[in-house]
Structures are given as structure tokens and as C-alpha cells.
Amino acid sequence: MSIAQSIKRSKLFYVTTPIFYVNAAPHIGHLYSASLADCVYRYEKLRNRSDRLLFSTGTDEHGSKIQQAAAAHNQEPKQYCDKISESYKTLFENSSINYTHFNRTTDKDHHFPAVQHFWNELTAKDHIYKANYAGWYCVSDESFLTESQLKENEKKEKVSAESGHPVKWIEESNYMFKLSKFHEDIEYWIKRSNPIRPKKFEKVLMEYLKEPLKDISISRPSDRVSWAIPVPGDDTQTVYVWLDALVNYLTSAGYPDPKFAANWPPQLQVIGKDILKFHGIYWPAFLIAAGLEPPARLLVHSHWTVDDQKMSKSKNNVVDPNKVTAKYTHDGLRYFLLREGVPHSDGNYSATKVTRIINAELVNTLGNLLSRVCAKNLNKRQVVPQCIRKELHKFDSSHKLVKKLKQLPSIYEEHFESFNFYLAVDEIIGILHMTNALLQEVEIWKMVKDPTQEKKFDAILGLVFETLRITGILLQPIVPHKSKELLDRINVSADKRSWDDTKYLLDGEHEERPLSKISHKLIERIK
Ligand code: MSP
């Protein structure tokens, strides 16, 4: 028995983001990939179903693209990479991206040995050969492209059909990976284990698979691409950046230490639609070739446009999350991205829309409800009262609300398990609307002045706090800071914020408790 097999497998949850190119500063699209992964990670934590949780991210720092970007900034590649990689770390720390591993492909101690070991495995298993290669190379996509992946732009130049970036003809000696041998294996993986979400992206992959797969070049001559990992045993060649980058998922799992097997395969890999071919074809093929399991699931997300335009440097419309969060707060921006973004189609970012959504939902619907029931003129005793059901019998809408609250966790679960976070948020906001409407309907401001209504008043208030408690727990993966502030304010102890606590508490299942003293507005209105 190998060491790997002898390790007792405990239940693992391993989620990854793509690693980010360091040719430019992070934008909201990058933050979106990371927020989706973080949201799933926090959901998994909330569910408490796994013994170990890993969440890996990092930066993709090799290749011509980075080499050129560093030169354009008059910097040494390493110095340039350090700076941008650090800006990702800072952004993620500020944006509650709670990764456990941050992998840099220039990390010589961990990542280089992983890539070189992986390369040796492929060689030993006879999946690599040397050949003269000629083809159209797109530096921006870091990929050779076939004729069918090209188009002509307005200037009649050949460009990548998908990204629109220029290509150039390259003839060189390369190491090739026998991708053609893995056609059936990939098809089998897709059909059998059903890993692609949403389904529409499975169709995209099946389209690629209609044509026989061709072998791919997995190295570059060192004199053309020097900023890369050397091919083991051949200094004249460096490892192709995409192979280098994909192996990062193994590096974070501890590869090539045999103990890594306990961390493999990832349960979920979040990727944008532009990198589907690399993750849905090359990646499973590399893994199967090395005798490793492909990932259990790929969550493919669509892209953000800005004011209905593709986000690009040339259009000067790239949204810098660091700048906009000064206005919207980190949770505000994250709320917008997870609330407005749907996996199956592109989302549009506009300042007006962000402002409208944050103000309508976080400020008015959630924040004002909390402020209202905590305000001293309404909540004179500054408590979270018990919700006594028999006191609610007169109020029809309170029964509807209780029913909804009881159903909420299972509806939320269904939406989370299918990665439709926006639908889960929709449910929560719907319930908060009902709660606000209930306060209007019972005319709570009159009730508070009527001593004969004291018990009913407490029961209604108790129900509102119960709504805030349950929705606050469920909002933790979406807005980690705001939900914490909310739960702190209504005095829900830190060990009572998990999935099991999302059950609606019947009479007598909770005691009256004081409100905490920390009082401030949950979120300021965006102007
Ligand atoms: N370095 C590669 C990934 C290697 S993973 C082994 C790469 N990097 S990237 O920085 O260009 O993109 C990282 C992620 O950001 C991808 O998931 C990509 O889809 C996402 N986005 C880049 N632009 C985007 C939008 N405009 N909108 C949403 N996400 C976008 O690809």
C-alpha cells in the first residue's frame, strides 16, 4: 500500500479559483471569480459537512504576456510580479476572500517541484514527445490557435476569434502532449460524472469534442519564453504557461508529496467561460494521463460587461474594485456581484445599478428593518423578545411569514447547491419585504403606545428578530461583514450561527435576550 493510500480519507472540501495573470491590476471580473469560490467555501463551512476545507487561489506569473508587461513597465519580471501579486492578496484580504492557500507560480520551493514532477510523470508514462511545431500563436490568450479559431479584424489582420487579440505565425521545436489519446476519456468524464455547471457549458465542450482532439504543444524554446519553468533535463525549453498554471491546483493540495492524495480531487473549481477549454479539455486530460482523478465539478461563470461594453483597457472602462469599494464598501460590491451575477449569462455593471441595488436591498430592506426594531422609541426595553405564537393568531401575514421562514433553509439550500446564489438572495429579500410589510400592517408604532397590546407587540417584535436572525445566518456567505454586524447587534452568539441554527425557533425554544450595546447603522445610503 502506498503512503497516499494508507492515509485515512476524511471528508474533504477543496474549492479553487483560477490563478490570476499578473499582467495588470485586478478588476471586478477577477474579484467575481474569487467571490463565487469564497461564497461556496463559506456555505460549505456553514453546512459543517466536511472535516477539512481547502480554498486555493493565487497568481499566474509566467509566460510571454507577463514578460512583455514587465518590460513595458521597465521592471524586472520578478519585481513586477511581486507587486501585482501583492495587490491581489490585499484585495482578497479586504474583500473577505478567505483562502487557505495562495499559490504563486514563481514559487521555486513549492510550485517548481510540483510542475517538474508532473512533467516527469507524463514523460515516464510516455505521453510526451518532441516535434517541430508551426502554428498561429496568440500571446494574450497564451495559446496556439487553429485556423477555425481565427478571424480577420477590421484591419484585415488575423486575430483570435474568441478574444480578438492578434496572433503571429511561429515555427519552433516543442514538446508535445498526446492529447489526441484522451478524447474518449474526456468525453466519458463529462458524460459519466456530469461535472459541468451550468449545463450550457457542457454543450460548448461537446462542440469542441465533435472534432478529433489534436496533440498540443506544452513547451516553448527558452530563448523565446525565458520567464517560465525549465523543462526537466532540457534547458533549451520551458514549460507552457497553461500546463504550469493548471498544476497550481495540485501544488496547493501538497503535490508532489504523496500525502497530497488526501486533498485530491477538488470538489469544485470555479472558472470563467473564457478558460473553459483549458479546464474542461486539457486539464482532465493531463490529470488522467498522470493517473490522477479529474475535478468533481467545474462551475463556469459568465462575464461582466460595463455599461453594456466589454471591459477592456483600450475602452478605458476597467472597474477597479479598490476604487469603487471606497463608495460601496467591500460587502456592498460583493453583494452586487453575487446578487446580480448569474452563472449562465453575462452581467452588466453600471454605477447606477450598483447604487440602486445596495440602497434598495441592503440599506432600505435590511438595514432599516434592523434599525427600526432596535430603535429606543420602539424597542424601549432594548431586548430581543420571545415570539409567543398564540399572540400572533390575529395577524394573518405573520403566519405566512412564519411559514416562509420555515421553508427558507431548504429553498436556500436548493439554490446554493445549483450555484444560483442570486435566487437564494431573492428569497431572503422577499422575506425581509414581508417582514417590513407586517410592521406596517400591524401599525407597530401605535401598538407600542398601547399597554393592552404589550404581549402582542413583543410577539411581533420577536418574530421580526427571528427573521433577522435566520436571514442573518444565511447571508453569511454573501455578505460576511454585514451579516456579522447584524448578528452581533441582535446578540446571536458566535457558536449559534451555523446551518443547524437556521431552524425557526418555536415558543419557549429561546429566551428573551438583551440587544447588544454596539449600535450603528448597518450600511450607509449610497449617494
Ligand atoms: N491565468 C489564467 C487562469 C489560469 S488557471 C489555471 C487566467 N487569468 S485571468 O486573470 O485572465 O482571469 C482569471 C479569472 O477572471 C477567469 O475566471 C476569468 O474568466 C475571470 N474574468 C476575467 N475577466 C472577466 C470579466 N470581465 N467578467 C468576469 N470574469 C472575468 O485566465
- What pLDDT does residue 297 have? 98
- What pLDDT does residue 4 have? 44
523 lines ligand 1 (CB under 6 A): no
- What pLDDT does residue 303 have? 97
Distance from the CA of 397 to the center of ligand 1, in angstroms? 46
User: Residue-wise pLDDT tens for the chain (527 aa)?
Assistant: 344 443 445 699 999 999 999 999 999 999 999 999 999 999 999 999 999 999 999 999 999 999 999 999 999 999 999 999 999 999 999 999 999 999 999 999 999 999 999 999 999 999 999 999 899 999 988 889 988 899 999 999 999 998 899 999 999 999 999 999 999 999 999 999 999 999 999 999 999 999 999 999 999 999 999 999 999 999 999 999 999 999 999 999 999 999 999 999 999 999 999 999 999 999 999 999 999 999 999 999 999 999 999 998 889 999 999 999 999 999 999 999 999 999 999 999 999 999 999 999 999 999 999 999 999 999 999 999 998 888 988 888 999 999 999 999 999 999 999 999 999 999 999 999 999 999 999 999 999 999 999 999 999 999 999 999 999 999 999 999 999 999 999 999 999 999 999 999 877 788 899 999 887 789 999 99
Distance from the CA of 64 to the center of ligand 1, in angstroms? 17
CB–CB of 330/96 below 8 Å? yes
Atom of ligand 1 nearest to the CA of 248: 6
In 73-199, which residue ranges form alpha helices assigned H by DSSP? 77-94, 111-124, 183-193
DSSP string, 78-108: HHHHHHHHHHHHHHHHHTT---SEEEETT-T
- What pLDDT does residue 162 have? 86
Give the residue, by CA position, lying nearest to ligand 1 atom 16. Answer: 272
Q: For the chain, where do the domains classified as CATH 1.10.730.10 start and end? A: 351-514
Distance from the CA of 314 to the center of ligand 1, in angstroms? 17
- What pLDDT does residue 389 have? 85
Give this prediction's pTM.
0.94
Question: Cα–Cα distance between 105 and 248 in angstroms, integer?
Answer: 7
- What pLDDT does residue 10 have? 66
What are the backbone dihedrals phi and psi of residue 303, each rounded to the nearest 5 degrees, phi first?
A: -110, 165
Question: Cα–Cα distance between 273 and 194 in angstroms, integer?
Answer: 17
The CA-atom distances, in angstroms, between 255 and each of 56, 114, 380 are 13, 6, 59
DSSP string, 28-54: HHHHHHHHHHHHHHHHHHHHT--SEEE
244 lines ligand 1 (CB under 6 A): no
User: Dihedral of the CA atoms 180, 185, 190, 191 (nearest 10)?
Assistant: 120
Atom of ligand 1 nearest to the CA of 273: 19
**Rg (alpha carbons) of the chain, rounded to whole number:** 26
Q: Which amino acid is at 48?
A: N
Indicate the top mutation candidate among 15, 17, 20, 306 to test ligand 1's pocket, ranked by most ligand atoms within 8 A of CB: 20
CATH superfamily assigned to domain 3-301 = HUPs (3.40.50.620)
Reading the block at residue 497, the C-alpha cell is 450561527
Give the residue, by CA position, lying nearest to ligand 1 atom 25. Answer: 29
Question: Cα–Cα distance between 85 and 59 in angstroms, integer?
Answer: 6
Atom of ligand 1 nearest to the CA of 272: 19
- What pLDDT does residue 394 have? 83
Distance from the CA of 186 to the center of ligand 1, in angstroms? 23
CATH superfamily assigned to domain 351-514 = Isoleucyl-tRNA Synthetase; Domain 1 (1.10.730.10)
21 lines ligand 1 (CB under 6 A): yes
Question: Cα–Cα distance between 160 and 148 in angstroms, integer?
Answer: 9
272 lines ligand 1 (CB under 6 A): yes
Give the residue, by CA position, lying nearest to ligand 1 atom 30. Answer: 29
Which residues lie closer than 8 Å to 343 by C-beta, 6 or more apart? 197, 198, 299, 300, 301, 302, 419, 420
Of 353, 372, 367, 335, give the one whose Cα is nearest residue 480: 335
> Positive or negative CA dihedral for 86, 90, 92, 98?
positive
CB–CB of 34/89 below 8 Å? no
DSSP string, 227-247: SSPEETTEEEEEE-HHHHHHT
102 lines ligand 1 (CB under 6 A): no
- What pLDDT does residue 1 have? 38
Distance from the CA of 273 to the center of ligand 1, in angstroms? 8
386 lines ligand 1 (CB under 6 A): no
CB–CB of 56/101 below 8 Å? yes
The CA-atom distances, in angstroms, between 104 and each of 59, 202, 251 are 5, 30, 10
Question: Cα–Cα distance between 469 and 345 in angstroms, integer?
Answer: 33
Of 403, 381, 380, 378, give the one whose Cα is nearest residue 392: 403
What are the backbone dihedrals phi and psi of residue 253, each rounded to the nearest 5 degrees, phi first?
A: -80, -5
270 lines ligand 1 (CB under 6 A): no
60 lines ligand 1 (CB under 6 A): yes
246 lines ligand 1 (CB under 6 A): yes
Strand order in the sheet with 230-231: 219-221, 234-239, 230-231
Cβ count near 27 (within 10 Å):
21
The CA-atom distances, in angstroms, between 405 and each of 80, 169, 353, 471 are 51, 61, 28, 9
Indicate the top mutation candidate among 33, 36, 62 to test ligand 1's pocket, ranked by most ligand atoms within 8 A of CB: 33
Q: Helix, strand, or coil here: 435?
A: helix
Give the residue, by CA position, lying nearest to ligand 1 atom 14. Answer: 30
Q: Is the peptide bond before 256 cis (omega within 30 degrees of 0)?
A: yes
Q: For the chain, where do the domains classified as CATH 3.40.50.620 start and end? A: 3-301
321 lines ligand 1 (CB under 6 A): no
33 lines ligand 1 (CB under 6 A): yes
